[in-house]
Copies of this chain bind each other. A is one copy, B any other.
């Protein structure tokens, strides 16, 4: 490739910049979040769940009691009391000094990528997986490898095959496996207990590290998800968490839990990335959380999302009858994964759906390789039951129209 093609004016871009692309989802959102469109596209939490009054009280308290300290530079590790609260809230034995506060869990992915990925490093992901992780990892130029996955999550035998662990030599063995085991973005699927135990055991046997991303784990509907992979092998896992789905994303705070062997390097990468996450926001969240607020607040989020999931499942059942459409029943979180009939392509369906007033994200964006063009992601986080009913009817109409069109132009079977 001619590097001069990459020279806009006097600038020469780094090779990794070639691999960066605008987020497909953010581009779709610009089109689909027009007024009048019922959007199931964005992965947004419901703003109805944001505890605005509690935050207002916390701002007032923090600035009155400790305003100057809250507004000053602070330690890169994060605010001590918040790290204590995080450690105490996790379902295994975590010390506060293993907790690093990050600028959203997205930054956790960036830091992990920086300290674990060299150009060409092999890393393993689920099929499909979280787009933001693919973006964060891609900046460090890895070889991203799909591990075969079914409705329960990744295939343990394929995991062993793809890990390519060569004992005694580094070879091109995988640097880590990235997993989102609970109510996954985009599929909504959950790695069940038996599969989870098998993945954990096989990874430990292989010496394959795991990066476990768990932004949705608290949003379960009927029962909590199984124990995190990190709890089963803390020395072999980095765990990423977020306050975005249980409090609010606009404060941009998340955290990671790392073994002592990795923590100092993650901390140094954090210093270089943004010195520290906003100290004011960390104190706000610690203030809100300190008296067991989440134990009262999170159940209300679960109840809301469960009612919206139920409405979407019922509407799908009603509207998709006879359309050869498949979907899953997520046990928590915000997403349903839908598969169109063989002759349809979700990216081609989208403009027709938008014409009829409904939007979604085609699934292709979430595959590192070999996308399944029939898949799409529906988010039920922000829509009311009424919008869900109207939107699913519109989606069914778009599918019906596309099938007719598809058959009419003899494209059936082309997918």
Contacts and interface: CB of A to CB of B under 8 A. Distances in A.
Interface of A: 3-4, 8-17, 20-23, 26, 42, 44-45, 47-48, 50, 52, 55-56, 59-60, 63-64, 67-74, 76, 103-104, 106-107, 110, 114-119, 121, 132, 135-136, 138-140, 170, 173, 175, 207-209, 235-236, 244, 248-252, 259, 261-262, 264-265, 267-269, 271-281
A63 B116 CA distance: 39
Nearest to A43: B73
A11 B135 contact: no
Contact of A250 (B55, B76, B117, B280): B280
24 contacts: A9-B261, A12-B170, A12-B175, A14-B117, A16-B115, A17-B114, A17-B265, A20-B115, A20-B268, A20-B269, A23-B271, A55-B67, A56-B63, A59-B59, A59-B63, A70-B250, A74-B250, A132-B272, A135-B272, A136-B273, A138-B272, A250-B280, A252-B276, A274-B274
B273 A106 contact: yes
Given A56-B60, A249-B71, A281-B278, A15 B50 contact: no
A162 to B, nearest CB: 16
Contacts of A132: 271-272, 275
* Residue with the highest number of chain B CB atoms closer than 10 Å, among A11, A110, A136: A11
A173 to B, nearest CB: 8
